[in-house]
A = this chain, B = another copy of it.
Amino acid sequence: MPDIHKLLWPRSVAIIGASSDTRGLRGRIVQIMKDHPYQSAIYPVSRSEAEVQGLKAYKSVSELPPTDLAALIIPAKFVPQELERCGAAGIKAAIILSSGFAEEKGEAGPALQQEIKAIAARYDMAVSGPNGEGFANTAAALCPTFSPAMDAGDVPLLPPDRGRGQVAVISQSGGMGFAFFDHGRPKDLSFRYIVTTGNEACLEASDFAEYIIDESKTDVILMLIEDIKNIATFERMAEKALRAGRPLIINRLGASEAGARAIAAHTAAHGDDAVYRALFRKYGIIESNDLDEMVDIAAAFIAMGKRLPASHRVAIASSSGGGGAWVADACALAGLDMPILDDATRAKIDAYLPPYGCSQNPVDVTAQAIHERGYAEFAKLAAESPNVDGVILVVTGRHPRFLIEDRDHLIALGRDTKKPVLLWSYTRPASVCVDLLSEAGLPLFTNVHNCARTMRVMADYRAARETFLKGH
């Protein structure tokens, strides 16, 4: 069995096709790797340059010191012979970033892909790609990819460690795979791995997912897949994930006719949507076809951990009456129920409301009561109602004063609540509010439907898992 650990955690990486020209992809990969504080060796392999971006270059794979991982970024037709050399040199893992294989029109590309597969099998190499965009291992600061999303900048790869969980991304598409990372960063979402798998001639998404689940350091996995090549691996992986309570959030591209045409041209993928759907249902997999929503769902699972709604019944508390109505409509569309709160809870809430407020559900807290008592108190009171199993709190994060003044209560709420509390800000939140709520562990949504849908899928995931565990 090929060793994925060697691929994701190499102690040395050769870049075959490395270049000094940082305007091209072959130079970009070296630049991105170098700019991160990866502690192990990087060996450029170049036929024309003795030094690449300040690193000693090697003329050939056969001249390399012992190497764990080879990243190949050379024209497709040269890939088999170089991969063969890697195998012969004892390199046990490779990623192939070149295009021009099974996705190409004609017979030459698919034939090259068959060759790769045979070589990998012969040497028992862990091979990802071809037509991938590499990967990132943030803990190792290792980014063998040319994705602009992985440029080393002012923002560290990992957000402040707040002792919460991490997510991984596995995507056939390179551009989209790193896009998840790009969208998750402003939410302080901590990514452990971003793996792009391209055409999946050898290793496929399920293989990486299984490795990541077995490793037990990743709490949520985001997957963008075009097809599933080995259903048995997928099922084994999905069952492990469900047992371990590590949600899989998947978009399968190609559900539409034009989308199917696109994935066939992209990674030579084709698959039966109905088969996939049935698999996803069986293993409580969360399906979403919206990038922003997928990241939002992941962030909410990370923040709430095991605190998932026991039913579809939610309370809404809002400083804006219109905002409360908007969430109510969104929750109804998401299939959530909003029962009127019980009398005891209503009495407690009413004690704080002006006469034009309303405690039914949605709770129209009114701006006045928020000014007087802050946001957290009302979410806490609503969560105490036996009629509901989750709370959506509507805030405006634009003017930070009310959130800042309520800081201690918000932190206590995020720590102590037993029912999930999700926040929707109907204005663009100030960065100080984003940071504060991130610290409090309260998931902040800027899109109302993502907020409602997340509550729904959290409830469904809990139910699916409980049903599965009971049956097995």
A1 to B209, CA, bound (A): 68
A152 at interface by CB-CB < 8 Å: no
A159 at interface by CB-CB < 8 Å: no
A25 at interface by CB-CB < 8 Å: yes
Contact with B along A323-340 (1 / 0, CB 8 A): 111101111110000101
Cβ contacts under 8 Å, A324 to chain B: 262, 266
Cβ contacts under 8 Å, A210 to chain B: none
Interface residues of A in 351-379 (CB under 8 A from B): 354-356, 358, 360-362, 364, 366-368
Q: A226-B322, A290-B449, A356-B103 are in contact. Are A262 and B332 (CB under 8 A)?
A: no
Q: A253-B322, A266-B322, A267-B321 are in contact. Are A328 and B428 (CB under 8 A)?
A: no
- Which of A182, A320, A427, A446 is packed against the most chain B CB atoms within 10 Å? A427
A398 to B175, CA, bound (A): 11
Taking a contact as CB atoms under 8 Å apart, the answer to whether A332 and B258 are in contact is: yes
Taking a contact as CB atoms under 8 Å apart, the answer to whether B289 and A329 are in contact is: yes
Report how many copies the assembly holds. 2
Cβ contacts under 8 Å, A263 to chain B: 321, 325
A399 at interface by CB-CB < 8 Å: yes
Give A84 Cβ to nearest chain B Cβ, in Å. Answer: 22
Taking a contact as CB atoms under 8 Å apart, the answer to whether A256 and B320 are in contact is: no
Taking a contact as CB atoms under 8 Å apart, the answer to whether B148 and A447 are in contact is: no
Cβ contacts under 8 Å, A326 to chain B: 176, 251, 253, 259, 289, 291
A257 to B332, CA, bound (A): 8
- Name A179's contact: one of B151, B259, B289, B426 (CB within 8 Å): B426
Contact with B along A252-271 (1 / 0, CB 8 A): 01111111011101110000
Taking a contact as CB atoms under 8 Å apart, the answer to whether B321 and A104 are in contact is: no
**Segment from A43-51, A166-174, A461-469 that makes contact with B:** A166-174
A319 at interface by CB-CB < 8 Å: yes
Interface residue tally for chain A (C-beta within 8 Å): 83
Taking a contact as CB atoms under 8 Å apart, the answer to whether A266 and B364 are in contact is: yes
- Name A262's contact: one of B25, B106, B325 (CB within 8 Å): B325
Taking a contact as CB atoms under 8 Å apart, the answer to whether A262 and B182 are in contact is: no
Give A264 Cβ to nearest chain B Cβ, in Å. Answer: 9
A330 to B259, CA, bound (A): 9
Interface residues of A in 68-86 (CB under 8 A from B): none
A100 at interface by CB-CB < 8 Å: yes
Cβ contacts under 8 Å, A316 to chain B: 258, 262
Residue of B nearest to A251 (CB): B326
Residue of B nearest to A255 (CB): B329
A186 to B167, CA, bound (A): 29
Cβ contacts under 8 Å, A175 to chain B: 319-323, 367, 396, 426
A105 at interface by CB-CB < 8 Å: yes
Cβ contacts under 8 Å, A366 to chain B: 99
Give A391 Cβ to nearest chain B Cβ, in Å. Answer: 14
Cβ contacts under 8 Å, A396 to chain B: 148, 175, 179
Interface residues of A in 92-136 (CB under 8 A from B): 99-101, 103-106, 109, 131
A448 at interface by CB-CB < 8 Å: yes
Cβ contacts under 8 Å, A354 to chain B: 99-100
Taking a contact as CB atoms under 8 Å apart, the answer to whether A332 and B367 are in contact is: no
Taking a contact as CB atoms under 8 Å apart, the answer to whether A290 and B256 are in contact is: no
- Name A322's contact: one of B104, B224, B449 (CB within 8 Å): B224
Taking a contact as CB atoms under 8 Å apart, the answer to whether B256 and A171 are in contact is: no
Cβ contacts under 8 Å, A11 to chain B: none
Sample of 25 A–B contacts (CB below 8 Å):
A99-B356, A100-B355, A106-B355, A148-B396, A149-B427, A171-B322, A173-B320, A175-B323, A177-B322, A179-B396, A179-B426, A182-B428, A183-B427, A251-B326, A253-B326, A256-B332, A256-B333, A258-B329, A258-B332, A258-B338, A259-B325, A261-B328, A265-B358, A266-B324, A266-B358
